[in-house]
Amino acid sequence: MAMVILACGALAREIKAVVAANGWQDVRLECLPAHLHNEPHRIPEAVREKLLQLEVGEQVFVAYADCGTGGRLDGVLAEFGAERLPGAHCYDVFAGEAVIAALAEQAPGTFYLTDFLARHFDRLVLHELGIERHPELAQLYFGQYQRLVYLSQRDDAELQRLAERAAQRLGLAFEKRHTGYGGLETSLVRFVESPVAALSGSEEPEWPQ
């Protein structure tokens, strides 16, 4: 039976790495655009439309956390009996909810980067928030922040350089925490290698009409 991982595009590189490292042959990755995070109210319906395109009998795991949908994504997943990643956002997924809660307690004004966000910081933050054209907006958006914490998935000198530059552009203190793939890998392993998943091929889920 085919297994499908329906993912946020921001996690595509990491998911492909996990799939390759585990040698999974019967797993297909489908991605939605990463820029949906700038309009999280659109994520639930985008996921729903994608799930409706899958064939009945395909087992699917949704590689999104809540991602700012306020529980609405969970409502969509309940229609399909699908499961998602734990936590409120990808920072929880990579670092763990307890670690992110502790970092927030230590310094509420913390801005986070992952490998993906470090790589695309100029486009997703400076350009899309208008800071590139109007530098004074940086203070408006980030004036209450004290530090930038880079949650790294890979030890990559170039990505660290980009993350440090991002902190400098925003006038924030820089800190790095190496997380690896964290809860992303453990969740995917559980989905793909679960005995329940292996036995459920003869049971077709009741897809919404």
Q: What is the mean pLDDT of residues 51-70?
A: 93
Domains along the sequence of the chain with CATH: 3-89+182-202 (3.40.50), 97-178 (no CATH)
pLDDT of residue 162: 98
pLDDT value at 128 more than 60: yes
Partners of residue 148 on adjacent β-strands: 111, 174
User: Are 43 and 73 spatial neighbours (Cβ–Cβ below 8 Å)?
Assistant: yes
List pLDDT tens digits, range 20-46: 999 999 999 999 999 898 899 999 999
pLDDT of residue 202: 35
pLDDT value at 199 more than 60: no
Q: Collect all residues with Cβ–Cβ distance below 8 Å to 21 and sequence separation of at least 6.
A: none
**pTM (2 decimals)?**
0.87
Q: What is the mean pLDDT of residues 119-124?
A: 95
pLDDT of residue 1: 61
